[in-house]
Structure 1
């Protein structure tokens, strides 16, 4: 539940990730909740320190479980997004479309120094099949049963059943306030707020106008702006499900999808520019969030304080 909220809270109904995108009122809360107010350098240093500590705790835990475990060296993780994602820029859209088939940095290979081998590989290989199963259960917990899995393959994470990895993460981060019963009601209310965003009168009218524009441009059948983008991903998924070869889709197929993607994305951009889509959407969304904050400020402030205390 929380992951969905964090994603949605950072997005407007149009294109997230634009460099000039404003931070919505609720996003400011969730940025603080997740520690996202740190600079990229501070985030990298924080991640590296926590990763090192987590691996050391996992090694301690695995030894207690009767297994050998060598802490995996911390790899450098950059929080710099590299090339800016600019879905409102015509030159960018002309090259990448929605970023479904091709996207900035997609063809870059990791530098050799960034690739690390698992120091536990030889030890695990020396174990019998049953011992390997026990090793991974001790490390990550048992595989969720069919009853615990949802239809989309996800399941509810519980650190207490996630083996040494879950225990180590909990030792570092403590209890996640966002997952606690204390804040369940306000988290549910936030989810409902974002689920209902598209039905706000201003946004519903905006989507109708955008759909009419797309229809007139030769792209009927899209009720909302996200439908256009999703149609490309659906086309790609269908190609894979229909039986791509072991080496992947034929490049000619991908090129054809990418050509259609760019044409669609450019038409979408034309309609959004004509309607001032981003500005209109943001105005309606931000107003709804501000009203929500006014009604739930005490709960939100308490949740923020609990998250800050857990990180300290």
Structure 2
């Protein structure tokens, strides 16, 4: 029985962004830095496709999944209309400029405030669940049965990790899990064949901050942050994480929505202040460029150690596409 983390798909997507991320050039403009491992991961996600081609690919996969779910739900005795409008949007990410001073001065890390957050969708673009009316017509007991058939039963609290994650098993994830498994049947990203390699890749990046060569860079950055009045951070990643933790705590303590909450505005201002200091210290210590050199060297060594498995995974992905 194959099990994966509940957040594995999202985690892999984030991992690809790390692998193929941008770093700032000396003239302030973003310069694409090639990632040796990113070339392998891009093969799994259609990294050679245009933005429109990637959107079309994801939409086609969603349609296939939804149609399979409808078939499965019918066998369970429920009506289910394939939801072809997920409300998702696709972006090139050009509106995110975390290394641009003007952008950081407005958004910080882009957590409390972000580009486009106040834009209202067009009436024609408002998301509507095609199953909402049908589900509303069911009794409370029938609704519970509907969602259990669709997504599987709720995960018992004792099976949750400390951070709320859990081992996701498609066999207990209802019609959604079955449909996803059907689609993922020959997907190298989720196949059992390459699961050990994916685990090693994830672990590689998890351990990256503590890898040889990183401590000196982070120490210089931390000293700069202390001088700027932001002591207590040992690694650059901890600065943004601290804001994320505060934001999570804010929402966890909310019992009702408060519009224009001063507490949230205060957090946004602290985020901007911290992000600007972070940006200054990264620039004064050449943090991005030095870190990228270390990352590339470590990735090249990782590839040398796993060349056969990586080539096999890439070939399987290219054959599938």
Q: Same fold (TM over 0.5)?
A: yes
- Is 1:25 equivalent to 2:14 in the alignment? no
Query: Secondary structure in 1 aligned to 2:194?
Result: helix
Moved over 6 A (4+): 14-18
Change (3 A) 1:236 1:184: closer
* Equivalent in the alignment of 2:188: 177
- Aligned mate of 1:99, from 101, 110, 113: 110
- Is 1:35 equivalent to 2:42 in the alignment? no
Query: Structure 1 length normalisation: TM-score?
Result: 0.88
Change (3 A) 1:8 1:47: closer
Structure 1 residue 42, shift from structure 2 partner: 0.7
- Is 1:141 equivalent to 2:148 in the alignment? no
Is the 8 Å Cα contact of residues 51 and 74 (structure 1) preserved in structure 2? no
Structure 1 residue 16, shift from structure 2 partner: 7.5
Listed as ranges, the matches of 1:107-146 within 5 Å are 107-146=118-157
Relative CO higher for 1 or 2, CA cutoff 8 Å, sep ≥ 6?
Answer: 1
For the aligned residue pairs, the C-alpha RMSD in angstroms reads 2.7
Is the 8 Å Cα contact of residues 61 and 164 (structure 1) preserved in structure 2? yes
Is the 8 Å Cα contact of residues 59 and 69 (structure 1) preserved in structure 2? yes
Query: Structure 2 length normalisation: TM-score?
Result: 0.86
Query: Secondary structure in 1 aligned to 2:97?
Result: coil
Note the alpha carbon deviations across 1:94-153, whole angstroms, 9 max, x for none.
111111221111222222222232232222222222222222222222222234322222
Question: C-alpha distance in 1, partners of 2:143/2:268?
Answer: 43
Q: Which runs of 5+ in 2 are unaligned?
A: none
Is the 8 Å Cα contact of residues 87 and 127 (structure 2) preserved in structure 1? no
* Equivalent in the alignment of 1:267: 277
Note the alpha carbon deviations across 1:173-230, whole angstroms, 9 max, x for none.
3244334443333233223322222223321101001111111222211111112222
Query: Secondary structure in 2 aligned to 1:20?
Result: strand
Is the 8 Å Cα contact of residues 16 and 42 (structure 2) preserved in structure 1? no
Question: C-alpha distance in 2, partners of 1:185/1:79?
Answer: 30
Question: C-alpha distance in 1, partners of 2:89/2:250?
Answer: 33
Change (3 A) 1:189 1:168: closer
Structure 1 residue 269, shift from structure 2 partner: 1.3
Question: C-alpha distance in 1, partners of 2:257/2:219?
Answer: 42
Question: C-alpha distance in 1, partners of 2:267/2:57?
Answer: 40
Question: C-alpha distance in 2, partners of 1:83/1:191?
Answer: 26
- Aligned mate of 2:256, from 234, 246, 255: 246
Structure 1 residue 167, shift from structure 2 partner: 2.2
Is the 8 Å Cα contact of residues 44 and 188 (structure 2) preserved in structure 1? no
Equivalent residue pairs, number: 310
Question: C-alpha distance in 2, partners of 1:69/1:90?
Answer: 48
- Aligned mate of 1:293, from 303, 310, 317: 303
Range with bigger deviation, 202-211 or 176-185 = 176-185
Question: C-alpha distance in 2, partners of 1:145/1:76?
Answer: 29
